[in-house]
Amino acid sequence: MLSVRIPRDYDLVLEFDSNASLKRFLHKLETFLTSHKKHLEQVPTYREQMLSNAETRERREKRLEHFFREAYALTFGPKPGEKRKMEEVTGDVVMVMRTSLSRSEFASALGMKGGDVFVKMMFNIVDKDGDGRISFQEFLDTVVLFSKGHTEDKLRIIFDMCDDDRNGVIDKGELSEMLRSLVEIARTNSLNDDQVTELIDGMFQSAGLEHKDALTYADFKLMMREYRGDLIAIGLDCKGAKQNLWTRRSTWPERHRNAILRKWDELITFLEANRQNIFYLFVFYVVTIALFHTDLRHIMGVGIAITRGSAAALSFCYSLLLLTMSRNLLTKLKEFSVQQYIPLDSHIQFHKMCALTAFFFSMLHTVGHVVNFYHVSTQPIEHLRCLSKEISLPSDYKPTITYWLFQTLTGLTGVLLFIVMIIIFVFAHPIIRKKAYNFFWMTHSLYIVLYILSVLHGLGRLTASPTFWVFLIGPAIVYTLDKIISLRTKFMGLDIIETVLLPSDVLKVKFYRPPNFKYLSGQWIRLSCTGVKPEEFHSFTLTSAPHENFLSCHIKAQGPWTWKLRNYFDPSNFNPKEMDPKIQLDGPFGGGNQDWYKFEVAVMVGGGIGVTPYASILNDLVFGTSTNSGVACKKVYFLWTCPSHRHFEWFIDVLRDVESKDVTNVLEMHIFITQFFHKFDLRTTMLYICENHFQRISKRSMFTGLKAVNHFGRPDMTSFLKFVQKKHSYVSKIGVFSCGPRPLTKSIMSACEEVNQSRKLPYFIHHFENFG
């Protein structure tokens, strides 16, 4: 075995099959080093000692973890609640004091590549002795300077980073190189050479230095004077240690109101925000429990009591499930004022709660029947002769529990119902539904069997006359009519006009609009493709606007069916001349965002692929306001959060088109880039400064070319809503619409509740849809 040790790098441990192979390798290695004027030093050792002393990648990563942890611990102190023994601290400090960083390790710690221009500039600043490595003391000095140093010191670092030739001034070429490094960090190619030159000239002009070609340190301070406040809290994030002076101060204890009063306000606000949902849930459970209680037959024993009471309750729940899935009815109700008093947006959540309640009473009903059958099967024969006029038994026959379960209509249908119900509930679990949607949909289609068996189950009249049909008939008629309405377009094959494969595995499908097909922006359809499992329908939001003569959807590949659709229309596989797929649709159906036009002021928030409803809504908005179509909205704030611009270039094109049509300035847009560095990181601050200058000069973003303001990090929704509340105090309510992942909608809901606690007008009303 051989360990090749290179100073300041990983060790390479090699094992050979024989000593001869080892000697041949050493001879070739020595010859190679000699040709490069290097010396090979051989040190014999034992195998175990060699392995224990080898500096492997894993050990190096552990050493670097200690390196960063100790640097931040010495700067800010231990984390709250962290306790460490003195001998551990001493050992860690000794180890990290002997550790130094290479450029590639420094770049990795910053989440960047070793060849990036910014890494090169920053590395040269931190490496004060110029030996090509960053010692622990050099790194610690930099962390302390960023976290506790004066603004003057931080400005000096930025100046020295830009001053590449160390001549004491920054010429326009050096400033241009710095800007390019920032564009590289932002992962955008939207800034060309002319725009960089324009930005630099604008920065010189805004500082009154247009007559100069280079900046001294005094000139640089003058140029940065309006951003000194942004430099107070900047730091440099390494290995997730996003600590700086600002974040430390923000955790200092503050004075709060009495905890009981604060909790009381939170409770009152929650009740106000969810009063409709709470009211209808209360009514639902009152009716369910009342049915359960009034149908108890105490005089007939516990088993009969439980069976009859739970039968009435589950009959009500199962019947109500049909109404919660009557999508056309719910969509139509959204057009009337009745929707102000019924939380139609929560019909899916109510459907789940009804189903879980029905499941509980079904299990209770099952237990009751088992108790009944056991009780009856253990009775003397003479007690069974007058059991029920519906049941006739031979005088000498004593039925067992098997007879009651498998040889009576009630028992047999009950067993089948139990099996069907378990299958439906198992495949409706969120994890299974997400990974095997097709099985979820097929098993959910067993609801027809479930309702037929439920009707038959009562015909045995084992304990009383059947009553399930009384609960079922009304909702069943409504649901059947709802399904008939859906047949208008469900089996109509629509020609595909265009398919485009977009970045991040997003597929745009543009197809013909059926005759007399009317919809509102923000609504969604259930869509299938004859080329990919035509019997399988999936829900997607329409991205085309109602005034357009075609329909379109943007579909992200993130499940089995959507990946098959994406691969089917991949240009390398799809041949329009030979393949003629059709689109089939069911809908349109009401979405949580379709009521935007009813508010004078609206706030819209889209997260990730959740921006799809707003492609339609924003187009509809600017069309309505520019053509005086009677749109009530006077101001709309649109906030888009996304990992990076490159993930959703197609939506930037949509926003660019919307901006060009917004002649009344009804729309104000903000873009938040979330897959970025910490809010107070040096790179983020420098990007913000450049973006601010470019916006001032060109009236558009240097990253997207839009008028929309770019931000780095997630939006502070509470502060933003307070700003909107103060600016539009003349209205009584403001609609807040969101679509995206559940954490996004939860954070916006919390922000609305927090702002509404002040009891100030306007009041924020939250409508939402969840994606993913």
Q: At what angle do helices 347-377 and 409-427 cross, to 10 degrees?
A: 150
Phi and psi torsions of 588, nearest 5°: -80, 160
CA dist 509 and 518 (Å) reads 19
How many separate helices (H) and strands (E) can be counted in the chain? Answer: 29, 18
pLDDT in tens, 283-325: 888 888 887 766 544 444 555 667 777 888 888 889 999 988 8
Q: At what angle do helices 682-698 and 151-162 cross, to 10 degrees?
A: 70
Distance of CA 309 to the CA centre of its chain: 43
**Torsion sign over Cα 304, 309, 312, 314:** negative
pLDDT at 593: 81
pLDDT in tens, 154-175: 778 778 878 878 888 888 888 8
Weakest mean pLDDT among 160-164, 384-388, 667-671: 384-388
Peptide bond into 380 cis (omega under 30): no
pLDDT in tens, 17-37: 888 888 888 888 888 888 888
pLDDT at 86: 47
Whether the CB-CB separation of 147 and 237 falls below 8 Å is answered with no
The pLDDT-based confidence of 255 (bands split at 50, 70, 90) is very low
Phi and psi torsions of 506, nearest 5°: -105, 130
Q: Return the higher-pLDDT residue of 495 and 230.
A: 495
Among 339-348, 548-557, 759-768, the range with the most confident prediction by mean pLDDT is: 548-557
Instruction: Cite the beta strand spans of 608-713 per DSSP E.
Output: 635-642, 667-673, 709-712
The pLDDT-based confidence of 83 (bands split at 50, 70, 90) is low
CA dist 218 and 169 (Å) reads 10
Question: Taking residues 705-724, what's their average pLDDT?
Answer: 84
Question: Taking residues 435-456, what's their average pLDDT?
Answer: 87
Which amino acid makes up residue 194?
A: D
Exposure b/e, 348-365, CB count within 10 A at least 16 = b: eebbebbbebbbebbebb
Structure tokens of 708? Answer: 């929309």
Phi and psi torsions of 701, nearest 5°: -80, 145
Structure tokens of 588? Answer: 């349109």
Exposure b/e, 268-299, CB count within 10 A at least 16 = b: ebbeebbeeeeeebeebeeebeebbeebbbee
pLDDT > 90? residue 181: no
Structure tokens of 541? Answer: 């939001």
pLDDT at 408: 78
Residue with tokens 């399988």: 536
Structure tokens of 562? Answer: 């959507």
pLDDT at 231: 55
Radius of gyration of the chain (CA): 35
Of all residues in the chain, the percent with pLDDT exceeding 90 is 8
The pLDDT-based confidence of 681 (bands split at 50, 70, 90) is low
Helix (H, G, I), strand (E, B) or coil at 285: helix
Instruction: Please enumerate in sequence order all residues whose Cβ is within 8 A of that of 232, keeping only pairs 6 or more positions apart, or say none.
Output: 151, 245, 246
Please provide the DSSP assignment of 174-208 as one string: HHHHHHHHHHHHTT-----HHHHHHHHHHHHHHTT
Strands 733-740 and 763-770: parallel
Nearest alpha-carbon partner for 133 in 113, 158, 105: 105
pLDDT at 249: 38
The DSSP letter of residue 513 is P
Question: Taking residues 755-768, what's their average pLDDT?
Answer: 84
Longest dimension (CA), the chain: 117
3-state helix, strand, coil in the chain (%, to 5): 55, 15, 30
Weakest mean pLDDT among 407-411, 547-551, 727-731: 407-411
Question: Taking residues 553-565, what's their average pLDDT?
Answer: 87
Its pTM surpasses 0.75: no
CA dist 224 and 210 (Å) reads 15
pLDDT at 420: 92
pLDDT at 699: 74
Nearest alpha-carbon partner for 511 in 487, 535, 530, 536: 530
pLDDT in tens, 221-230: 887 776 666 5
The DSSP letter of residue 18 is S
**Alpha helices (runs of H) in 235-336, residue ranges in sequence order:** 245-250, 259-273, 275-294, 302-324, 327-333
The pLDDT-based confidence of 682 (bands split at 50, 70, 90) is low
pLDDT in tens, 514-530: 888 888 888 888 899 98
Between the alpha carbon of residue 720 and those of residues 158, 270, 771, the distances in Å are 31, 20, 23
Weakest mean pLDDT among 113-122, 247-256, 316-325, 531-540: 247-256
Which amino acid makes up residue 372?
A: N
Whether the CB-CB separation of 695 and 159 falls below 8 Å is answered with no
pLDDT > 60? residue 84: no
The pLDDT-based confidence of 245 (bands split at 50, 70, 90) is very low
Helix (H, G, I), strand (E, B) or coil at 171: strand
Lateral strand order in the sheet of 733-740 = 709-712, 667-673, 635-642, 601-607, 733-740, 763-770
The pLDDT-based confidence of 262 (bands split at 50, 70, 90) is low
Whether the CB-CB separation of 688 and 680 falls below 8 Å is answered with no
Whether the CB-CB separation of 172 and 214 falls below 8 Å is answered with yes
Average pLDDT score, the chain: 78
Helix (H, G, I), strand (E, B) or coil at 22: helix
Query: 586 has which bridge partners?
Result: 526
Weakest mean pLDDT among 248-262, 399-413, 558-572, 690-704: 248-262
Structure tokens of 379? Answer: 């009775």
Q: At what angle do helices 347-377 and 275-294 cross, to 10 degrees?
A: 20
The pLDDT-based confidence of 248 (bands split at 50, 70, 90) is very low
Structure tokens of 212? Answer: 């100069």
pLDDT > 80? residue 386: no
Please provide the DSSP assignment of 404-430 as one string: HHHSSHHHHHHHHHHHHHHHHHHHTSH
CA dist 63 and 71 (Å) reads 12
Strands 2-4 and 12-14: antiparallel
Among 35-44, 64-73, 176-185, 745-754, the range with the most confident prediction by mean pLDDT is: 745-754
Between the alpha carbon of residue 327 and those of residues 589, 689, 742, the distances in Å are 6, 49, 22
Structure tokens of 552? Answer: 């379109």
Weakest mean pLDDT among 254-258, 493-497, 673-677: 254-258
Phi and psi torsions of 766, nearest 5°: -100, 125
Between the alpha carbon of residue 378 and those of residues 215, 383, 596, the distances in Å are 101, 10, 65
Q: Return the higher-pLDDT residue of 600 and 490.
A: 600
The pLDDT-based confidence of 388 (bands split at 50, 70, 90) is low
Nearest alpha-carbon partner for 44 in 19, 66, 21: 19
pLDDT > 90? residue 422: yes
pLDDT at 552: 92
